[in-house]
Each structure stands twice: as C-alpha cells, then as structure tokens.
C-alpha cells in the first residue's frame, strides 16, 4: 500500500507528496519511527525543543488516516505477541 507521512503542527503542515510503498501498517509504523529518529540525527537536534506539538501523521493512498506519531527525541516501538488462542491483534494490524 502507498503511505504518506505528513508532518503537522498546530499552525503548520508539511505534506509528503511522494509517499512510500509498504506491505502493511506495521511496516508503515516502523518506517515512520525510523524517519522521526533519523530526523533528529540529520538535523543535529539534541532535545527536540521547538518541536512540541508536532506530529507525523500517516495516511493511505486514499487519504484515510492510519496513525499519528508525536515527533519526540525517542520513539519507543513495542512489539506485543498475540497468541492465536488468546486475543487477536488490534484491528490496525489486520
């Protein structure tokens, strides 16, 4: 699927007009987390000051929102395993 990562603040927006192809929403999340972490390295930003309230908003090719990720110094990505006999994965991973 095609995924677009727009960067948004309360009074500003930077649109991603190119997007990337990803196999699923889990990979889109991983790519978004990587992009946020690389941003701080490439821009040589130490503490994220001035980025309060900014988010990376992911949308599919039809313009439907997928998820929102705050732009912070560190993004923690957690993997939770859902055994087939217990609970199903959250609907965002179907």
Q: What is the pLDDT of residue 29?
A: 92
What pTM value is reported for the model? 0.68
pLDDT of residue 47: 52
Q: How far is CA 82 from the centre of its chain?
A: 22
* CA distances, 41 to each of 34, 36, 46, 74 (Å): 11, 9, 8, 11
E strand map for 10-86: 12-14, 20-21, 55-60, 65-70
Domains in the chain, number = 1
Identify any residues that bridge with 65 across adjacent strands, giving them in sequence order: 59
For position 52, what pLDDT does the model report?
A: 74
Regions of the chain short of the pLDDT cut 50: 75-77, 79-80, 82, 85-94
CA distance 22 to 62: 14
| Structure tokens, 38 | 């690389």
Residue range of the domain that includes 19: 2-93
């Amino acid at each position: 699927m095609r995924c677009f990562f727009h960067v948004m603040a309360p009074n500003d927006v930077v649109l991603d007009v190119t997007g990337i192809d990803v196999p699923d929403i889990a990979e889109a999340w991983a790519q978004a987390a990587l992009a946020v972490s690389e941003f701080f390295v490439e821009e040589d930003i130490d503490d994220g000051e001035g980025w309060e309230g900014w988010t990376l908003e992911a949308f599919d090719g039809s313009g439907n929102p997928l998820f929102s990720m705050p732009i912070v110094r560190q993004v923690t990505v957690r993997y939770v395993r859902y055994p087939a006999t217990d609970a199903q994965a959250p609907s965002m991973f179907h």
